[in-house]
Structures are given as C-alpha cells and as structure tokens.
Structure 1
Amino acid sequence: MYAITGATGQLGHLVITALLEKVPAGEIVAVVRSPEKAADLAALGVVVRAGDYDRPETLAAAFAGVSKLLLISSNEIGRREAQHRTAIEAARDAGVGLIVYTSLLHADTSTLDLGVEHRATEALLRDAGVPFALLRNGWYTENYAARIDAALSTGALVGSAGAGRISFAARADYAAAAAAVLTADEDQGGRIYELAGDSAYTLSDLAAEIARQAGRDIAYTDLPEAAYRETLIEAGLPEIYAGLLSESDAKSAAGALFDDGGDLSALIGRPTTPLTISVAAALA
C-alpha cells in the first residue's frame, strides 16, 4: 500500500495520477483532511482516508497497513515542523516501512528561509528510526504562473532575482519522480535526491518566452527585495507569503535555486518539461 498525504493538493493529485500508471488503484491510499473533496479519486478506485496533521488521532487509521508513505510537506508555514513530527511519529507507530519526504533543493545548505523547517523535518526523520528518502524539490515552473497575467496586462514581469539562474521544472515532473521512488524495486532508505530542471533560466528568459508566445512586448523588471515584497502585498498576497517569495527571488540571484545534477530527469527517465511547454500551458 502506498499512502500520499495532502492527496487533494496540486502535487498530491499529480502523484496519484502518476502512481495509477504503475500500480492498481486499490493499492493507493489518499490521505486527506476532507474525504468529500477526494470523490474523484474514490471514483477511480483509490482508497480515501481521513488524516489531518493537526488531529493525531486520525493518522493511525490513515496509515494502517501502509508500506510506503509520501509525506508531502504542509503548506502552513511556521507550523510545518510540529505537523510533520506528528505525521512521522504516526507513521512509525503504524509500522510504515519507508517515508518519502518532499523537502527543499539543497535543504541542508540552503540560505532560503523556507529551508529552516525542511531541515528540522529531515532531522526528525533521521531520529525516527524509520527508513526514509528525501526528495529535495526545486522550484515549480507553476510558481511563476501567477505572474503571467500581470505581465500580460502591464508589459512587465516583475521580480527580484536579478540575473540568477533558476532550475525550475513542471510540478508534474516532481510528481513523476515521487511515484518512481515509491515504486522503485531498489531500497530507497537513505537516498537523497536533489531535484531540479534540466535547464536553468533567468526571469529575463522567462519574460522573453512569454513575450514570444503571447506576441507582446514584455520585459523583466528587477526590483530590490523590499520593493518587490511591497508589490506583492499591494497585489493582495498575505505578508508571510510575500516575504517568502521576495526573499526566495532575491536569494536565487546568488544561486539558491540552481542545480545541474540531473537527478530529476534520471529518476523519471525523460527530460524535464521544457519552458516552452510550461509557458504554453500557462497561457492556455
């Protein structure tokens, strides 16, 4: 049995889609806070179980009989360490044989603020006594999709990344990698994968590709980190996320989101999704 936490989220749903190509639906457990939101998965034959990081009593039943667990990191910044501790302890107590965790690219050395909770979770896994594998995910191409509408309306893609090269890849690429690790015949205990796109791009490259496909003049406008943060807040983003996005942009200028190791394409057995395809999907 393969269990996926956060299964109705964007990544979780894609992982299940990828798993359905490899294993019978009845061997997949979708762990979700609200089972009624997973009706589409249940219709495919996927086992849907209630499980909430904030309700430890739900996780014992959610993880019962599970041999491999994909622990998708919580999206509640500031509460992740405690929530992940609860899930890891429940998995250990349920006898799960392998925990696969979605961490952050180069989490052990990352200068990003996001790295703090990921490093803490990796430490929890090392101390738990359960075999684990780390999927240190880089940036999703889709992280930039929210900027495209604004770029089309203003003629400028705004950010704070300077000329930093970012090795982003499509979310579906990372989902395929997770499915590959979960179903691998080889022992995955102790494996660490630094996952990133085959090619790295600057935000100027991204602006140029959007302009080419949209047939409009779009340039990249680079702002100081603080100014970009204020721009995001003015656009309606909560302060905590505006701070994380602007900080991530600024630190990517120094290489925080770059990797050329090729782990991702090696895992999925194909090149990662090209920028041209991702931009076309976003524009569509």
Structure 2
Amino acid sequence: MPDVMSPVPPATSPSKGKVFLSRLVSTVFLWATLTVALWLDLDWLLLGMMAVVGVLGTWEYVRLQREDEGAGAYSKLVVILSAGYWAALLGWYAFTENVGAALWWLDAALLVIGGQAVFFMAFRQGLEGEKTLRRVFNGFFAMVYTIFLWGFMAKLLLAGEAANGSMLVLTVILVTKFGDMGAYLFGSWLGKHKMVPHISPAKTWEGFGGAVFSSCLGMAIMLLVLEPGTLEPFGNFEAMALAPFIAVLGVMGDLAESVLKRCHHIKDSGHKLPGIGGILDLTDSLLFTVPVVYLFIILFA
C-alpha cells in the first residue's frame, strides 16, 4: 500500500506572553542604547543611530515593492537618496555648528532632486501605463515617508537655542512608545470593541484609551524626573496637554503603516526586532509624532 501522508499541523502563533516578552527584550535593548547616548551627551552617536535606522527603514519600505520587477531601479534610487541625505547631514554636523538651520535646505534638495530623479527613471524605461505612474508616485512617497518625516528626528535633536534637543528627543520617544505599549497591553487584556477592523483587526477602542493613558503617564514621569525648564519651550501644562495629542498621532502612525502592510498582504515590515517586527514597525508612530512636536516647538519658540 502506498504511504499515506499525514497532514502537516498548522503553525501555531506564539502566545501573547511570549510576544510581550520578546517585545520587552527588544525595547529594553533599544532604550539602553539610546540612554547611553543621551547620558554621555553624544549627539553624533544619536545622529548615527538615526541615520542607520533611516536608511534601513527606506530599504525595508522599498522591499515591499519587490514583486514588481520594474520597480527595482526606483527602489535603488530611493535607497541611494536616503543614504546621501544622512551622509550629507552627518557631514554638515561634523563641519558646521549651525547644522539645524541647514536641514531645511537639505530637505528642499531631497524633494526637488528626488522628485526629478524618479521621473528620470521613467525616461529611461518604456512606459507601462499605470504601472509606471505607480512606480513614480511610490518612489516619491517613499522619500517623503521614510526620509523626510524621519529627518525631523535630527531637527528635533539639533533644535539649537530654541530647545534642549536631546531631552526632547528622549521625551517624545518615551511618550510615544508608552502609548504604543499601553495600546498593546490594554488592547490585549481588555480589548473588545474593534476600532478599524478593515485596517487592523487587533486595534480596539480599549487599546486606544490605553495609549492615551500611558502617554500621559509617560509624560508625567518625565516631568517628575527632569529638572524644571528642561523641556522648554514647553512648561508642565503644555507638556501634559501635548501628551494625549502625541498618543493620538502615534495611533494614527501605527494605523498608517497597517494600511501599507495590509495592501501588501504582510503582517510585519521585517523581522529585525523580535516581538516588534521590522524597522518601520518600530518607527511608524514616531513618523507622525516627531514632526508635529517639532512644529509645535517652532511655534512656541
């Protein structure tokens, strides 16, 4: 008789406890590295970390288009632009004291040169109708999403006389990530009412409430730990008022990446960070919170 193949049991998903533990380990490692750089007041190390994360995030995003063979040239272009952007920023920092003011020129160059370059890619290839348009638009969006928005981390760090950049970076990251963790914990333990199931089935209104609560808690902790005036131009009242706003923006950033992942039929953008996923899974909420906080600083200062 021929051998009968026994059915292969379906792969079991890791338990919520294991996911939380692996996420906690990854988070502790990242925070330890960030804390060392802040404690030693090493802005160059922080900028280097931002550059690595920025380039990896760009590379991770363009990999989402890997099934489209014709998008390869556009993907290489965007990664080169990302590497060039951060190399120019680091070079500016190394040789110029007032690098913060120069970053706006760098952003302008990115958008102008990058916008022209993606069309140059279309000049070199045969037109394929909507496919070509998608490649052009997606290349430009990749620059805005993974380079321009992430570049606000450097602007916040190098805010100059207007603010204590390193402490603001630490505070925004902590408050944003407190919101992320609160959304995950409250959503896992108490979540019953779906928020936007067509985008992210796991997101619940209970988790959203947990994000707001946890962000406010994170901000309160920072205000207790830091010396008065450290978060200038924000006073205690302004900082606490900003916390729920950061929470809402963080949830929006998370959902925005969920739209990208769902449209590409993937769960995580990568697997570099156990329990978290890829680089974009780490930075998605920050891409929405950091630029707005920086613009608030410009307004207040």
TM-score, normalised via structure 2 length: 0.30
Which structure dedicates a bigger proportion of its chain to helix?
Answer: 2
Q: Which has the larger radius of gyration?
A: 2
Which structure dedicates a bigger proportion of its chain to strand?
Answer: 1
TM-score, normalised via structure 1 length: 0.31
